[in-house]
Amino acid sequence: MSVKLSSSNLATLPPKVAGPKYDRATLKAGIVHFGVGNFHRSHQAVYLDDLFNSGVGHDWAIVGAGVFEGEKVGRGKLQEQDWLTTVVEQDSGHMSARVTGVMIDFLMPGDAAAIVEQLADPAIKIVSLTITEGGYFIDPASGVFNPTHPDIVADAQLGATPKTVFGLILAGLLRRRADGIVPFTIMSCDNIPHNGHVTSDGVIGLARLIDEDLANWVSENVAFPNGMVDRITPATTDRERGILSSEFGLDDNWPVFCEPFKQWVLEDRFTDGRPSLEQVGVQFVSDVAPYELMKIRILNGGHATIAYPAGLMDIHFVHEAMQEPLVCGFLDKLEHDEIIPTVPPVPDTDLEDYYQLIEHRFSNPKIGDTIRRLCLDGSNRQPKFIIPTIADRLKAGKSVTGLALESALWCRYCFGTTDSGAVTEPNDPNWGRLQATAKAARGMPAAWLAMEDIYGDVGRSPPFAEAFGQALKSLWADGARATLTRYLAGDL
């Protein structure tokens, strides 16, 4: 019979499940985290759990916080088990389970008063974020904060109850400034380029709409360290809950399954101290940019490369896509011909070794990562993970045949049917617009590249437009398999 996860059952966890080695009753909050999802619980929370297990850092426990109504479901699942999470690491030759206990509370999403009160507490020294690419109110093409977004405009109104993450953070900082309390560090753990700068642009941009003096004070007194984060963590389904129950004898409302690999490279720039995370594998550096660019282009660009052809071929899991020679071959050729050559040297890193590691990770048959997850939110991801690489290739006068094919595959995917005719359910916040544009692009490819907010100058490049048009025409005429075969043979 399975054990139900809860604080009262920590002492009687099944034999194959590791539990916290620390007394959770002695933990004190030091971090407020917005975006308590799977990635956060498999990454930042695991590093902190490792630290707490070593006997130090017990005043850096996490208090979760949320903004959206939908986050209440996850909060309810975690509350039933006293904020505990089971993390299962899997690859072809390894599976282990552990319970992490670093989160000690989760404020009700939307309860602005309680969240601001917690942010104003002097014990809170870091506010961290995993709010996804779309949560930063940035224009996709320019990467610049958009102060005209309706939610930002609403939060800037005099006397408004903050509803955005940035509005809540600013309200907390205002309280701290009034009370003479050192401001907290704002630490993005999201997988976006220059995440610290992007977060700074958002917080200071909103502050500037409210009060110029406030914006200047935030700019001068608050740290926004850049960081690079990495761990493949798929969504949780009944499949994962069933595996945990049958293999380990533990019932968890919301377990996290992930690969064994994890990485966190972080600028050592904090306003009021930080946990000693270097003791548990976090790399503190003066400049994250080389690591970040490597990861965004090779790994995230690689994910995009395999996502859309696999989606058009009705392939469900990522590891299954890597078993398809056409998809795996596309990844290998595009990475070596066009992506990796745009990545500058990275300290203590061999780029070919890094690519081989990525290929191995994508091929992990145990992780259960889905192609649909990789295809999600292309309107936000393509401008970050693919289009800058295209821009660099064009600037250098280099070929963009493979990158144009990747973009054409995305366009074809957004049409809404696979090559077999199966319907693709909406998979982007802007799906309606993308689908309409993809339908227009079937007869006029330039319509897709005319999405200025996504493609910018790249969409106006004649060499890219020509390569994109040829690729899209081939996809419609012959399908993804034949087009990839032609590309791999050098005939596209």
Provide the CATH number for the domain around residue 281.
3.40.50.720
Over the range 198-228, which residues count as b (16 or more CB within 10 Å of their CB) and which as e?
Answer: bbbbbbbbbbbbbeeebbebbeeebbbbbbb
| Residues 217 and 69 reside in one and the same domain | yes
The mean pLDDT of 36-52, rounded to a whole number, is 98
| Residues 276 and 293 reside in one and the same domain | no
| Residues 255 and 342 reside in one and the same domain | no
The mean pLDDT of 346-352, rounded to a whole number, is 94
Q: What are the angstrom distances between the C-alpha of 116 and each of 112, 123, 273, 332?
A: 6, 13, 21, 48
| Residues 215 and 262 reside in one and the same domain | yes
The pLDDT value recorded for residue 142 is 67
| Residues 104 and 238 reside in one and the same domain | yes
State which amino acid sits at residue 18: A
Residue 444 sits in a domain of what CATH number? 1.10.1040.10
| Residues 36 and 126 reside in one and the same domain | yes
The pLDDT value recorded for residue 94 is 86
Over the range 456-487, which residues count as b (16 or more CB within 10 Å of their CB) and which as e?
Answer: bebbebeebbebbbbbbebbbeebbeebbbeb
The mean pLDDT of 356-371, rounded to a whole number, is 93
Question: What's the token pair of residue 359?
Answer: 């290929």
Q: Of 243, 268, 285, which residue sits at a domain end?
A: 285
| Residues 190 and 322 reside in one and the same domain | no
Structural domain boundaries enclosing 356? 289-488
| Residues 311 and 281 reside in one and the same domain | no
| Residues 200 and 278 reside in one and the same domain | yes
pLDDT class for 222, splitting at 50, 70, 90?
very high
Q: Of 229, 264, 285, which residue sits at a domain end?
A: 285
| Residues 252 and 328 reside in one and the same domain | no
Averaged confidence pLDDT in the chain: 96
The mean pLDDT of 348-374, rounded to a whole number, is 94
The pLDDT value recorded for residue 124 is 98
User: Cβ–Cβ contacts within 10 Å for residue 371, how many?
Assistant: 24
Q: Of 285, 306, 339, which residue sits at a domain end?
A: 285
pLDDT higher at 443 or 191: 443
| Residues 49 and 140 reside in one and the same domain | yes
The mean pLDDT of 263-289, rounded to a whole number, is 96
Percent of the chain with pLDDT over 90: 94
The mean pLDDT of 178-202, rounded to a whole number, is 95
The pLDDT value recorded for residue 141 is 59
| Residues 479 and 333 reside in one and the same domain | yes
The pLDDT value recorded for residue 422 is 98
pLDDT class for 191, splitting at 50, 70, 90?
confident
Q: What is the dihedral of CA 411, 414, 419, 423, to 10 degrees?
A: -170
* Count: domains in the chain: 2
The pLDDT value recorded for residue 140 is 64
